[in-house]
Amino acid sequence: MRLLVVSTLILFSTSAFAADCAHHADRSFNVDRDGIKSLVAKLGSTDLRVRGVDGLARIEVQARACASNAGDLDRLVIEQHRDGERLVIATERSNDSWSISLFGSSYAYLDLEIRVPRDLSLQINSGSGDVDARDLASLDYSAGSGDLDVADIAGELKVETGSGDVEGSGLGRLHLRSTGSGDYNLRDIHGDVEVGDVGSGDLDLRKVAGSIRVGEVGSGDLDFSDVGGDVSIDSIGSGDVSVDGVRGNLTVRSAGSSDISHRNVGGKIDVPEAD
């Protein structure tokens, strides 16, 4: 790894940020693309807005540290380094762990927005921070309790969450590796959907051009509509399944106490019989 040489800092009007604050410091910088093919953002509890921009030749990080006490500003930093063809950005250091808090009039946070070339791949690791992502080539997202609002991902959206919710539209493909109690509401998916393990979270998918394949579901509900291919579910426990409008086959291999309802299925239907 080598340290990046950061280009001249650029100024942004205070109206671009979420709120006024008593003490603030600019943390903005630009990085020339120069062979970078992907961006990795490690957020911790920081919220992020990220946008892909056609024709952009650099990565623009717009950030402001904001705190009720001036002494806390030095702890609000963004670390970045080049790792091969990846640019890695981190808002909290692992060897100097601390938490952003907001109690009464005491607060400290980073307001962060990143603009990237639209063909750049992104990987986002978030703890409790919320992410708003638009107009990207692809996105690999993992989070604890942070929420994701996503739109217009040309390639694949990969997701793994704990209790965070995910909403979005305009996706190339979807790979939901696992989720705990988070709810998913996604529509306008142009390719296939692959779902691994779902705990108690609900999964609502609408207007899927390809097929949907689901692994193991606990108590979460599944609601699928307007699916161009097949729907296949390996097993579901106590969660309910509702399917409306499938051009291909519907298969549920194993079900516990769940209710399974379906209509407008064009192909074969193979589901466990109700008790």
Average pLDDT score over residue span 157-169: 97
Q: Is residue 106 part of a domain?
A: no
Domain that holds residue 250: 147-275
Q: What share of the chain is helix, strand, coil (3-state, %, to 5)?
A: 5, 55, 40
Q: Is residue 156 part of a domain?
A: yes
Q: Is residue 184 part of a domain?
A: yes
Q: Is residue 135 part of a domain?
A: no
Q: Is residue 165 part of a domain?
A: yes
In this prediction, residue 9 carries a pLDDT of: 33
In this prediction, residue 100 carries a pLDDT of: 45
In this prediction, residue 20 carries a pLDDT of: 60
pTM: 0.88
Q: Is residue 60 part of a domain?
A: no
The answer, yes or no, to whether residue 81 has pLDDT greater than 50, is yes
Per mean pLDDT, which range of 8-12, 74-78, 161-165 is the poorest? 8-12
The answer, yes or no, to whether residue 241 has pLDDT greater than 70, is yes
Average pLDDT score over residue span 82-86: 97
The mean of the pLDDT values for the chain is 90
Number of domains in the chain: 1
pLDDT band for position 123 (50/70/90)?
Answer: very high
Q: Is residue 238 part of a domain?
A: yes
Q: Is residue 236 part of a domain?
A: yes
